Structure 1
Amino acid sequence: MVKEKNDAIELIGRVMKCLPNTKFLVEIRDTNKPEEKFTVECYLSGKMRVHYIKIIVGDVVTVEMSPYDLSKGRIIYRHNKNLEEVLKEREQGTQEQK
């Protein structure tokens, strides 16, 4: 029996550079402190590869990261909106849950 781990961290970022081997540099902005940014090397999730979802420089994406290695991540969703709209929606969603 395989035990699932749900301790992944989901963050929003913008693709800054395409690297070889379908990897990307993604600039992550913290929703609480928008002036703080950091860069993460990410790869595409399996479902995005299967469904041929293309990622280009400038796309806004959701990145899933392990709390054990914050230098790498997995791109799990590509948003159709700009970064500010996505961050606003995410902030409103967390306020409604409280």
Structure 2
Amino acid sequence: MSRDDNVKVEGTVVKVHSGGMYQVETDDGRSIRTKLSGRMSRFRIKVLLGDRVTVALSPYDLTHGLIVYRGK
């Protein structure tokens, strides 16, 4: 699957789990379990509680995703 096939949604980090997992609440009220994408962990971009993030979701499973961008 290419990077263009992903569904991108905006949300806020509401909980930080162990093992690099995050709970993100989207703007439409859904809760998504996410982790950092490879580029964000490679460049050591930190994501904290309350940060605005962009999440890339697979069209097959909309409950898990990758954080691809951290807003300010």
TM-score, normalized by the shorter chain, greater than 0.5: yes
Q: What stretches of structure 2 of length at least 5 have no aligned partner?
A: none
Q: TM-score, normalised by structure 2?
A: 0.94
In structure 2, what is the equivalent of residue 71 of structure 1?
Answer: 63
- Structure 1 stretches of 4+ moved >4 Å: none
Residue among 7, 10, 20 paired with 2:8 = 10
Name stretches of at least 5 consecutive residues in structure 1 with no aligned partner: 31-36, 81-98
Q: Which has the higher helix share?
A: 1
Provide the alpha-carbon RMSD of the alignment. Answer: 1.3
Give the Cα separation in 1 of the matches to 2:46 and 2:35. Answer: 12
* TM-score in terms of structure 1 length: 0.70
Asked which structure has the greater CA Rg, the reply is: 1
1:57 counterpart = 2:40: no
Aligned-residue sequence identity (percent) comes to 38
Q: More deviation in 37-46 or 3-12?
A: 3-12
1:45 corresponds to: 37
- Equivalences, count: 72
Name which structure has the greater RCO, CA cutoff 8 Å, separation 6+. 2
Query: Take 2:27 and 2:59, find their aligned partners in 1: how far apart are those partners?
Result: 17
